[in-house]
Amino acid sequence: MKFGILINEGPYQHQASDTAYNFVKAALDKGHEIFRIFFYHDGVNNGTRFTVPPQDDRNIQVRWSELAEKHGLDLVICIAAAQRRGIMDEDEAKRQGIDGNNIAPGFRISGLGQLIEAGIQADRLVVFGD
């Protein structure tokens, strides 16, 4: 079965991203397909490579990046939500005249249409938030 995933909260503050990660891993283990993971609201903060959690804690961003690499996941950060919260890729930083970018490996920035498309294409859309 094909899953679309929506994550509405950032890392650490809420459990949403952890629950979504465990759900996605379990779905992949069962042989399901993850069509797309869309990050919205504060969820866009999962995609900054500038987070440095304590050594003995999980690194939520790195975990997503590694899972994406291993399984070819499509991690999409909403551009409108990202602009509000300072998540930038190289192109967007250039366009906005900002002196750097912070997007993590495996993530890409795109529009809300990608969420709607996930709803259309996936057999199930599962929302994780607060």
Partner 1 sequence: MTILHTVNKSPFEDSSLESCLRCSKAGSTILLIEDGIYGATEGTIISDKVKAAMADRTVCALQPDVEARGMKDKIIEGIKLVDYAGFVDLATENDTVESWL
Partner 2 sequence: MSDTTKKFLYLNRKAPYGTIYALESLEVVLIGAAFEQDVALAFVDDGVYQITKGQDTAGIGVKNFSPTYSALGDYDVNKIYVEKESLEARGLTVDDLLDLKYEDEDDDWAEKDSIRVVTAQELADIMDEQDVILSF
Binding positions for partner 2, rule: CB under 8 A: 6, 8, 40-41, 80-81, 111-113, 115-117, 119-121, 125, 127, 129
Decide if residue 124 touches partner 1 (CB under 8 A).
yes
Q: How far apart are CA 36 and CA 75, in angstroms?
A: 6
Instruction: Let me know: does 69 contact 109? Beta carbons within 8 Å.
Output: no
Pull the structure tokens for residue 9: 């909260």
Q: How far is the CB of 43 from partner 2 (least distance, A)?
A: 10
Decide if 78 is catalytic.
Answer: yes
Please count the CA atoms within 13 angstroms of the CA of 115 that sit on its side-chain side.
Answer: 17
Residues 18-37 that bind partner 1 (CB under 8 A): 19, 22-23, 25-27, 29-30, 32
Measuring CA to CA, which residue among 74, 103, 76 is closest to residue 87?
A: 103
Per CB under 8 A, residues contacting partner 1 are 1, 3, 8, 15-16, 19, 22-23, 25-27, 29-30, 32, 123-130
